[in-house]
Amino acid sequence: MKKLILITALTAFTFNAMAQDTLPEKQLEARQVAKQFLGSLKPELGKAMKSGGPVHAVGTCYEISPEIADKLTKSTGWNVNRVSLKPRATTASADSWETQTLQWFDAQAAAGKDVTKLEKFEIVKVDGQDTYRYMKAIPTGDVCLTCHGTAVPANVTAKILELYPDDKATGYHKGEIRGAFSFKQAAQ
Ligand code: HEC
C-alpha cells in the first residue's frame, strides 16, 4: 500500500514537471531517444577501449553504432541516425536541413553557448509530408580525440581507413561539435 502511494506521488510529480515545461511533447520524446542512444553507446565504447584498446574499439563502434540506431528506429517510431559535417560512416552525411542545423550548432558553440544543451526541433515538409525533425549536438570530449582528434595514432588511423576509406572525421578539438543525433518522424 505504501508503495502504491509513493508511485502515485512520483507520477503526479512527473506530470507536473512536464506541464510546466512549455516545449512540445515530441521534442521531449526525441530528447529521451537521444539519451537512450548515448546511454547504449557510451558504456560499450568505454568497455571496448578498456578491454581491447582503441584499435579494437574502432571495430566495436563500427558494429554497434548502426545496430543501436536500427534498434531504436524499430522501438521508438523515430527514424534514428547520427550525422556530421565531416562524416566517418557513409550513412552519416547530412541533408540540407541537417547541414544548416549543424552549422547553427557550430555558430552557437563559437559564441560560447553550452554545447551539451544544443538541440533543435522543427516541423518541416519532407516530400509534401509534415515531419518532426530533431537534432541534438554531440560535443567532442577528451576520450573522443583518440579516434577523432588531431593526433590519431597510426595504428588507429589504419584500422579506421580499413573500415572507412572515405573517413573525414578527424582533426577535432575538445569542445567542438563532432556531429549530432538526428531523428525524424511523420507528423500525424
Ligand atoms: C575507438 C575509436 C572511437 C572513439 C574513441 C570515438 N569514436 Fe566516434 N566514431 C568511431 C567510428 C568507428 C565511427 C563510425 C561508426 C558509426 O557510427 O557507424 C564513429 C562515428 C561517430 C559519429 C557519427 C558521425 C560520423 O562521423 O560517422 C559521431 C557523432 C561520433 N563518432 C562521436 C564521437 C564522440 C562524441 C566520441 C567521444 C565521446 C567518439 N565519437 C569517440 C570511432 C570512435
Q: Is the shortest distance between the CB of 62 and ligand 1 below 6 Å?
A: yes
Sorted by sequence, the CB contacts under 8 Å of residue 133 that are 6+ apart come out as 97, 120, 121, 122, 123, 124, 182, 183, 184
Its pTM stands at 0.89
User: Which of 126, 136, 73, 127 is CA-nearest to residue 105?
Assistant: 136
Instruction: Give, using CA atoms, the residue closest to atom 37 of ligand 1.
Output: 144
The 10s digit of each residue's pLDDT in 141-180 is: 999 999 999 999 999 999 999 999 999 999 999 999 999 9
Q: Is the CB of 133 under 6 A from ligand 1?
A: no
Q: Could you tell me if 177 and 140 are in contact, meaning their C-beta atoms sit under 8 angstroms apart?
A: yes
Residue 159 has which C-alpha cell? Answer: 584500422
Cell numbers at 38, concatenated: 548515448
**Residue whose C-alpha is closest to residue 129's, from 46, 60, 188:** 188
pLDDT digits (tens, 9 = 90+) for 73-131: 999 999 999 999 999 999 999 999 999 999 999 999 999 999 999 999 999 998 899 99
What is the spatial distance between Cα 24 and Cα 109, in angstroms, rounded to a whole number? 24
